[in-house]
């Protein structure tokens, strides 16, 4: 019997070693969490927040200039600043942790559809506290959209915002966006950056896990569900909601904002720097580093290809998703399911390949 | 043959072995419970969730709110009583019942090693483990016996042998041996470890671990049984389990197995261990006893042998019940649990439930987070019996919300051992109409791949 045991161990080691030779062709490098976090923080997240901060600052200044002496040119400047800031927002929405989470950056900047009645109540009363959660539907980009794009002609808009209370409200909302953006950016540029990079472990609360979870959650909840699913009526028995899109009052930029959101996701996945085309340590590298191959194709390629399909499908949509759901909702549903497929690839296949923990608990491999 | 069995049943061995195991087992359970409570898991797994996944036929076993802590306290106390051997039988019964109750409350937390504890504690109810080196034997010297029937120790060895050997058999499949899955995924995740990190990325290491793991499980008991290889075997046990405890989140299991494998050592070794404890100025009569065990109640004793024989037969056969089901075991998981299939799969899933009002056709996309914890959602999304139970829960919930005869469907994707995720449950099937049973679930989509082996 003992001989059998020894023989088995011998065979085991021989086969164990020999079968490895076939696989050694694939260079398996793993991935460096610290390098990844450094690239994310320094080249992607902080520049994106700086950009966002600058853009909402411009918006706030434009609003002040306009409300001080309203005219067509300054209104146009506010509108431009608003759209640029709203686009910049799409690039920070997924970093909903740390100060951003604490200050409800996401909820206060982009809860839509906006609460028109509530906004009017606030304007009439002239007293409101935008820090309250109940006020999230009455501020942010959707509220600014209503104030500057939802009042009819330019002349009517100028008249509307010439009212002292309305002007004050526009400034207050712009200022709230600016304050939160500045605080979050300052925090990232201060101590938080090193805390973030040093939190390089593998636990649920580690920076890599937290960031990756938010990256996926943003794609799933804030892009797939909110930008496509809800207006397309997927969550309301097929009843479409033309008004439940971003920038409803401007109306022709909801696709552009969707595309910006997707591009932010793609860039993050690729580890592309916010300010230039350089790429660094990323989830894509990590997947290649652990040699994740599925059915003969690199998993990173599976995901990249699906992102490409998502972009193609989204580009078939009308510039206004409101118009799209009204005229041809089928295209919205296609866009939804195309994106859904990549949510699955990321949430199931990528998380599994990178062996990321979702909760601290004992397990014996299910 | 019958004569040999009779002779075997009437042969005796040192009762120190059984007493040693009793103390060690009680002690490990005590540690396990303390750790569980200290991690805040009682609250997290049994109090906080609003919904619990139950075992088929045991849906009546549920957490009882804040009183759930009472069950844990009961379990805790019974551990202490088992350790010191006070009212041993009653304590063993209380431990078995309370521990099993805890395990049956929610199958989300199912672990093979919890099942192992249930099985061992059931066996221990029938063993005279409290008649030596115990408070019971001290208080009632007439019931103190220094020799115990050999089978009472052997049955524990047999149970451990089943666990190891069956765990080894389960590893004889192509995913484990040919693809080094799932160790390839799990070990790669440790590439950040100091010093050994880079090794964790090496293919040869994944294969070595897989093959040695299988060999270890299949043959370790042989090394432990044989007196001459026992020390080597035990060193392997320690090294193997410490390694697994470093690399995998398997909690107390490695330590319980290390301690449990000491049962293979000789009675005199156990006696020495107990004498070590005796240095704590315990009365001498606790160890000085050479009487053969005489059961208080002869027919109860005989009954115990019958019950345990049947039980062990079930243990031998039950893990093979998967043969009764069509399809790939790893994919359908029909007959997967309670079979010592440990560390075999890396499986993850995604489940989007859609509830439809049968009359109006109104559809609701379910947000799982509204009803399940993160952990429950993870476990649910790739196990068919969880999916079905949750679907029924959703049916009942939305019926209460006013939907007419809610139909529940799921868009479900599962990835197994490094294969790309693929559709799992047939998305056209109304799960509210499907009943849980021991029959094969025909609404699971085919695996379209083959895992060769046992």
| Predicted pLDDT of residue A28 | 63
* Structure tokens belonging to residue B106: 């929610």
Asked if B111 lies within 8 A of A17 by C-beta distance, the reply is no
Distance CA B95, CA A255 (A): 62
The one-character DSSP state at A126 is -
Surface-to-core class of residue A205, CB atoms within 10 Å of its CB (0-12 exposed, 13-18 middle, 19+ buried): exposed
The strand ranges marked E within chain A are 293-294, 297-298
- Closest among B163, B423, B139 to B312, alpha carbons compared: B163
Residues of chain B positioned with their CB less than 8 A from the CB of A338: none
Residues of chain B positioned with their CB less than 8 A from the CB of A208: none
Query: Which of the residues in chain B have pLDDT under 70?
Result: 278-286
CATH code given to domain A33-353: 1.20.1420.20
Residue A237: CB atoms within 10 A of its CB come to: 13
Tell whether the model's pLDDT for residue A21 goes beyond 50.
no
| Predicted pLDDT of residue B218 | 97
Asked if B343 lies within 8 A of A30 by C-beta distance, the reply is no
Q: How far is B117 from chain A (nearest CA, A)?
A: 15
Name the residue in chain B with its Cα closest to that of A5: B219
In A205-234, the residues whose Cβ lies within 8 Å of chain B are 229, 234
For residue B86, give every residue at least 6 positions away whose Cβ sits within 8 Å of its Cβ, in sequence order, or none.
Answer: B130, B134, B135, B136
Asked if A362 lies within 8 A of B362 by C-beta distance, the reply is no
Distance CA A23, CA A11 (A): 19
Chain B CB within 8 Å of residue A239 CB: no
Q: How far is A19 from chain B (nearest CA, A)?
A: 8
Asked if A362 lies within 8 A of B186 by C-beta distance, the reply is no
* Structure tokens belonging to residue B336: 């997967």
Q: Pick A1's closest partner by Cβ from B111, B222, B363.
A: B222
Chain A CB within 8 Å of residue B358 CB: no
Residues of chain A positioned with their CB less than 8 A from the CB of B203: 20, 23-24, 26, 28
| Predicted pLDDT of residue A19 | 42
Distance CA A142, CA A118 (A): 13
| Predicted pLDDT of residue B276 | 81
Asked if B191 lies within 8 A of A31 by C-beta distance, the reply is yes
Name the residue in chain B with its Cα closest to that of A225: B365
pLDDT digits (tens, 9 = 90+) for A211-253: 999 999 999 999 999 999 999 998 887 889 999 999 999 999 9
| Predicted pLDDT of residue A17 | 43
Asked if A12 lies within 8 A of B203 by C-beta distance, the reply is no
Q: Quickly list DSSP for B85-124.
A: TSSHHHHHHHHHHHHHHHHHH-GGG--HHHHHHHHHHHHH
| Predicted pLDDT of residue A204 | 85
Tell whether the model's pLDDT for residue A24 goes beyond 90.
no
Q: Pick B348's closest partner by Cβ from A31, A201, A352.
A: A352
Distance CA A283, CA A305 (A): 15
Asked if A24 lies within 8 A of B219 by C-beta distance, the reply is no
Residues of chain B positioned with their CB less than 8 A from the CB of A359: 373-375, 378
Strands A297-298 and B12-14: unpaired
- Closest among B177, B205, B206, B201 to B189, alpha carbons compared: B201
- Closest among B77, B158, B92, B160 to B128, alpha carbons compared: B92
Q: Is the distance from CB of A297 to CB of A304 less than 8 angstroms?
A: no
Q: Is the distance from CB of B311 to CB of B122 less than 8 angstroms?
A: yes
Asked if B253 lies within 8 A of A28 by C-beta distance, the reply is no
Distance CA A355, CA B55 (A): 28
Region for B402 from its dihedrals, namely left if φ exceeds 0, alpha if ψ lies in -120 to 50, beta otherwise: left
Reported as a pLDDT band with limits 50, 70 and 90, residue A14 is very low
Q: Is the distance from CB of A342 to CB of A307 less than 8 angstroms?
A: yes
Asked if B211 lies within 8 A of A12 by C-beta distance, the reply is yes
* Structure tokens belonging to residue A307: 């992102």
Question: In terms of pLDDT, which residue wins out, B226 or A365?
Answer: B226
For residue B129, give every residue at least 6 positions away whose Cβ sits within 8 Å of its Cβ, in sequence order, or none.
Answer: B18, B19, B21, B22, B85, B88, B92, B152
Chain A CB within 8 Å of residue B379 CB: yes
Distance CA A172, CA A129 (A): 10
Residue B119: CB atoms within 10 A of its CB come to: 19
Distance CA B263, CA B386 (A): 37
b/e map of A154-165 (b: 16 or more CB within 10 Å)?
Answer: eeebbebbeeee
Asked if A290 lies within 8 A of B188 by C-beta distance, the reply is yes
- If DSSP states are collapsed to H, E and C, what string results for B146-207? CEEEHHHHHHHHHHHHHHHHHHHHHCCEHHHHCCCCCHHHHHHCCCCCCCCHHHHHCHHHHH
Distance CA A353, CA A6 (A): 35
Residues of chain A positioned with their CB less than 8 A from the CB of B252: 362
Q: How far is B297 from chain A (nearest CA, A)?
A: 41
For residue B288, give every residue at least 6 positions away whose Cβ sits within 8 Å of its Cβ, in sequence order, or none.
Answer: B146
3-state helix, strand, coil in chain A (%, to 5): 70, 0, 30
For residue B29, give every residue at least 6 positions away whose Cβ sits within 8 Å of its Cβ, in sequence order, or none.
Answer: B75, B79, B82, B95, B99, B117
Asked if B415 lies within 8 A of A352 by C-beta distance, the reply is yes
Q: Is the distance from CB of B385 to CB of B56 less than 8 angstroms?
A: yes
* Residue A366, preceding peptide bond in cis (omega within 30° of 0): no
Chain B CB within 8 Å of residue A344 CB: yes
Tell me the domain boundaries of chain A.
33-353
Q: How far is B66 from chain A (nearest CA, A)?
A: 21
- Closest among B128, B151, B150 to B140, alpha carbons compared: B128
Region for B133 from its dihedrals, namely left if φ exceeds 0, alpha if ψ lies in -120 to 50, beta otherwise: left
| Predicted pLDDT of residue A26 | 45
Residues of chain A positioned with their CB less than 8 A from the CB of B180: 19
- Closest among B355, B370, B373, B362 to B410, alpha carbons compared: B355
Count of pairs with CB atoms under 8 A, one residue in A, one in B: 170
* Structure tokens belonging to residue B149: 């029937």
Q: Is the distance from CB of B395 to CB of B408 less than 8 angstroms?
A: yes
b/e map of B152-172 (b: 16 or more CB within 10 Å)?
Answer: bbbbbbbbbbbbbbbbbbbbe
For residue A178, give every residue at least 6 positions away whose Cβ sits within 8 Å of its Cβ, in sequence order, or none.
Answer: A53, A56, A57, A59, A60
Chain B CB within 8 Å of residue A29 CB: yes
Region for B383 from its dihedrals, namely left if φ exceeds 0, alpha if ψ lies in -120 to 50, beta otherwise: beta
Q: Is the distance from CB of B20 to CB of B80 less than 8 angstroms?
A: no
| Predicted pLDDT of residue A18 | 44
- Closest among A206, A182, A181, A185 to A196, alpha carbons compared: A206
Chain B CB within 8 Å of residue A69 CB: no
Q: How far is A160 from chain B (nearest CA, A)?
A: 40
Q: Pick B208's closest partner by Cβ from A1, A16, A292.
A: A16
Asked if A17 lies within 8 A of B188 by C-beta distance, the reply is no
- Closest among A324, A315, A177, A317 to A248, alpha carbons compared: A324
For residue A198, give Cα distances in angstroms to A35, A193, A209, A269: 10, 9, 13, 21
| Predicted pLDDT of residue B249 | 84
Q: Pick A364's closest partner by Cβ from B113, B177, B204.
A: B113
* Structure tokens belonging to residue B352: 């989007």
Angle at B179 between CA B177 and CA B185, to 5 degrees: 115
């Amino acid at each position: 019997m003992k001989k059998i045991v020894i023989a088995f161990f011998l065979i085991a080691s021989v086969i164990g070693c020999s079968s490895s030779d076939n696989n050694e062709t694939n260079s398996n490098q793993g991935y460096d969490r610290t390098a990844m976090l450094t690239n994310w923080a320094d080249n992607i997240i902080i520049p994106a927040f700086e950009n966002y901060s600058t853009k909402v600052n411009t918006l706030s200044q434009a609003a002040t200039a306009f409300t001080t002496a309203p005219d067509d040119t300054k209104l146009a400047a506010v509108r431009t600043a608003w759209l640029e800031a709203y686009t910049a927002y799409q690039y920070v929405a997924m970093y909903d942790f740390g100060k951003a989470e604490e200050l409800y950056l996401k909820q206060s900047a982009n809860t839509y559809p906006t609460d028109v009645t509530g906004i009017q109540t606030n304007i009439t009363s002239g007293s409101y506290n935008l820090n309250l959660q109940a006020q999230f539907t009455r501020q942010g980009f959707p509220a600014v959209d209503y104030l500057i794009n939802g009042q009819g002609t330019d002349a009517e808009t100028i008249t509307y915002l010439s009212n002292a209370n309305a002007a004050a409200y526009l400034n207050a909302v712009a200022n709230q966006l600016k304050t939160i953006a500045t605080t979050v950016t300052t925090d990232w540029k201060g101590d938080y950056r090193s805390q973030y990079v040093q939190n390089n472990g593998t636990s649920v609360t580690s920076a890599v896990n937290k960031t990756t979870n938010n990256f996926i959650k943003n794609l799933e909840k804030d892009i797939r569900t909110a930008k496509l699913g809800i207006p397309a009526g997927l969550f309301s028995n097929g009843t479409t909601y033309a008004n439940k899109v971003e920038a409803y009052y401007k109306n022709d930029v909801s696709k552009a904002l969707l595309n910006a959101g997707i591009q932010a996701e793609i860039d993050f996945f690729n580890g592309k720097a916010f300010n230039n085309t350089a790429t660094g340590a990323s989830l894509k590298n990590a997947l290649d580093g652990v040699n994740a191959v599925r059915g003969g194709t690199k998993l990173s390629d599976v995901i990249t290809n699906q992102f490409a399909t998502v972009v193609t499908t989204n580009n078939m949509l009308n510039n206004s998703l409101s118009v799209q759901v009204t005229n041809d909702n089928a295209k919205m549903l296609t866009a939804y399911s195309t994106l859904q497929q990549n949510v699955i690839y990321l949430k199931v296949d990528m998380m599994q390949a990178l062996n990321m923990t979702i909760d601290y608990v004992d397990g014996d491999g299910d | 043959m019958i004569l040999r069995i009779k002779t075997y049943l009437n042969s005796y061995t040192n009762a120190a072995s059984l007493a040693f195991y009793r103390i060690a087992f009680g002690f490990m359970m005590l540690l396990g419970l303390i750790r569980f409570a200290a991690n805040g898991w009682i609250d997290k797994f049994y109090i906080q969730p609003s919904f619990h996944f139950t075992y088929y036929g045991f849906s009546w076993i549920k957490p009882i709110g804040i009183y759930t802590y009472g069950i844990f306290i009961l379990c805790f106390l019974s551990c202490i009583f088992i350790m010191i051997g006070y009212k041993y039988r009653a304590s063993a019964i209380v431990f078995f019942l309370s521990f099993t109750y805890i395990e049956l409350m929610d199958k989300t937390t199912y672990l093979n090693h919890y099942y192992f504890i249930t099985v061992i504690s059931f066996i221990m109810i029938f063993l005279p483990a409290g008649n030596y080196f115990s408070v019971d034997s001290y208080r009632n010297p007439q019931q103190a016996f220094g020799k115990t029937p050999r089978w009472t120790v052997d049955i524990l060895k047999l149970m451990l042998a089943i666990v190891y050997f069956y765990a080894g058999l389960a590893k004889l499949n192509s995913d484990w041996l040919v693809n080094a899955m799932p160790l390839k995924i799990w070990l790669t995740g440790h590439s950040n470890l100091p010093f050994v990190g880079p090794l964790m990325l090496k293919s040869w290491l994944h294969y070595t671990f897989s093959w040695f793991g299988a060999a270890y499980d299949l043959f370790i008991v042989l090394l432990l049984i044989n007196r001459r290889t026992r020390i080597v075997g035990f060193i392997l046990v320690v090294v193997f389990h410490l390694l697994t405890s470093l690399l995998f989140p398997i909690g107390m299991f490695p330590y319980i197995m290390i301690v449990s494998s000491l049962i293979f050592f000789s009675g005199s070794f156990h006696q020495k261990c107990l004498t070590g404890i005796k240095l704590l100025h315990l009365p001498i009569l606790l160890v000085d006893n050479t009487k053969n065990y005489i059961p208080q109640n002869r027919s109860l004793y005989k009954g115990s042998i019958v019950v345990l024989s049947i039980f062990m037969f079930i243990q031998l056969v039950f893990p093979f019940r998967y043969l009764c089901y069509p399809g790939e075991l790893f994919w359908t998981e029909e007959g997967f649990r309670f079979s010592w299939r440990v560390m075999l799969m890396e499986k993850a899933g995604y489940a989007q439930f859609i509830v439809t009002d049968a009359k109006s056709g109104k559809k609701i996309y379910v947000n799982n987070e509204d009803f399940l914890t993160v952990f429950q959602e993870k476990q649910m999304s790739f196990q068919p019996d969880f999916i079905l139970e949750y679907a029924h829960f959703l049916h009942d919930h939305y019926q209460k919300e006013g939907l007419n005869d809610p139909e529940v469907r799921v868009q479900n994707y599962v990835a197994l051992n490094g294969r790309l995720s693929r559709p799992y449950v047939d998305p056209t099937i109304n799960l509210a109409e499907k009943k849980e049973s021991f029959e094969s679930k025909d609404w699971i989509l085919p695996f379209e791949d083959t895992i060769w082996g046992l």
